[in-house]
């Protein structure tokens, strides 16, 4: 009896844990959020630097780049401005560029659009 109960508890636990592993895209779940993408006031300091801080600097900061970021640093404007074409290719997953974030999901469409608009507008340090 005790063995059956233990088997039942194990089975229920596995079912509960399996059901709790749910992966989905925020934009797919909440499409109204993606309509609030500000593409009219894209600046390096207000838009691009936060995107990089949230998505890139865990590997491409000055401290981590030598070991985790293929020595590619994206911590300041000069670094980002000099690599803007490669960054755009990587976050858009196009061409011969390595898709970024490495082994991760593509950035949100809004972030990619904002980065591309920043580049199109001259990649200014604003």
Over residues 53-97, the pLDDT tens digits come to 999 999 999 999 999 999 999 999 999 999 999 999 999 999 899
Q: What is the pTM of this model?
A: 0.70
Per the listing, tokens 């990649």 go with: 123
DSSP 50: H
Q: Report the chain's mean pLDDT, rounded to a whole number.
A: 86
């Amino acid at each position: 009896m005790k063995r059956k109960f233990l088997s039942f508890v194990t089975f229920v636990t596995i079912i509960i844990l399996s059901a709790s592993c749910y992966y989905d895209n925020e934009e797919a779940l909440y499409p109204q959020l993606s309509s609030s993408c500000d593409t009219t006031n894209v600046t390096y300091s207000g838009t691009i630097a936060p995107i990089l801080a949230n998505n890139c600097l865990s590997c491409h900061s000055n401290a981590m780049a030598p070991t985790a970021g293929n020595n590619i640093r994206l911590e300041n404007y000069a670094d980002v401005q000099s690599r803007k074409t490669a960054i755009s290719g990587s976050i858009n997953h196009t061409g011969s560029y390595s898709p970024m974030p490495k082994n991760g999901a593509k950035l949100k469409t809004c972030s990619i659009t904002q980065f591309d608009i920043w580049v199109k507008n001259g990649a200014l340090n604003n």
